[in-house]
A and B are shown apart, each in its own frame.
Chain A
Amino acid sequence: AQKITQTQPGMFVQEKEAVTLDCTYDTSDPSYGLFWYKQPSSGEMIFLIYQGSYDQQNATEGRYSLNFQKARKSANLVISASQLGDSAMYFCAMSGFGNEKLTFGTGTRLTIIP
């Protein structure tokens, strides 16, 4: 069974600062993928970034980067130079090898303060 833990229910960050959203995971699968999704108040789920368990480099997508520490089973999302539009719920998720179901964490509500 897979499990995702997000321990920060809410965070307040000043605009233009960097923010780190925590995510730890547990799985017995030797190969897996880790994902972050953003859910703004409008409700849609927006894919942000993906990290494969065997990827040598940490994933980056524009202002988003994933701090992947395999030994610690953590996959924290880092948002650089935060913007007001980053205010949203952020979900960490994982799946096993191949096309399998996603297991989601409970989310972190990020609020960017002007």
Chain B
Amino acid sequence: NAGVMQNPRHLVRRRGQEARLRCSPMKGHSHVYWYRQLPEEGLKFMVYLQKENIIDESGMPKERFSAEFPKEGPSILRIQQVVRGDSAAYFCASSSSTSGRTDTQYFGPGTRLTVL
């Protein structure tokens, strides 16, 4: 009964490098969400995806950030040319596709990105 899986748990990058964060949703869940948490702050929504589709990317920075959720494999959050301000905890959450109610999102353990 695996929960939401994220890897790596910790990622260190130098300025200008690329960061790839992976998320595997809970079994049976087809909706994936990415959130960012800066130190001592709450979580901020970034993007909402279903298989092969981006549903809502209103929280994604316009440049350098992209996300995908392919038909096979995990969801990927990609940050190109990282800067120090990208240092944060990145959380993935998943939910089921039950219609007619607001579905609970279950979170992974997060990836702590540090940009040197």
A residues with a Cβ closer than 8 A to B are 31-33, 35, 37, 43-47, 50, 52, 91, 93, 95-107
Contact = CB atoms under 8 A, between A and B. Distances in A.
Contact of A101 (B48, B97, B109): B48
Interface residues of B, number: 30
B17 interface: no
B35 interface: yes
Contacts of A31: 102
Contact of A43 (B89, B95, B97): B89
Contact of A47 (B42, B89, B91, B104): B104
B101 to A, nearest CB: 6
Given A45-B110, A91-B42, A107-B42, A101 B56 contact: yes
Contacts of B112: 43
Contacts of A44: 107-110
B44 interface: yes
Interface string B96-114: 0101011111111110100
Contacts of A50: 102, 104
Contacts of B102: 31-33, 50, 52, 95-100
Given A45-B107, A99-B95, A99-B103, 20 more contacts: A32-B102, A43-B110, A44-B109, A45-B43, A45-B91, A47-B104, A93-B43, A95-B105, A96-B102, A98-B99, A98-B102, A98-B103, A99-B48, A99-B55, A101-B45, A101-B59, A102-B33, A103-B45, A106-B41, A106-B42
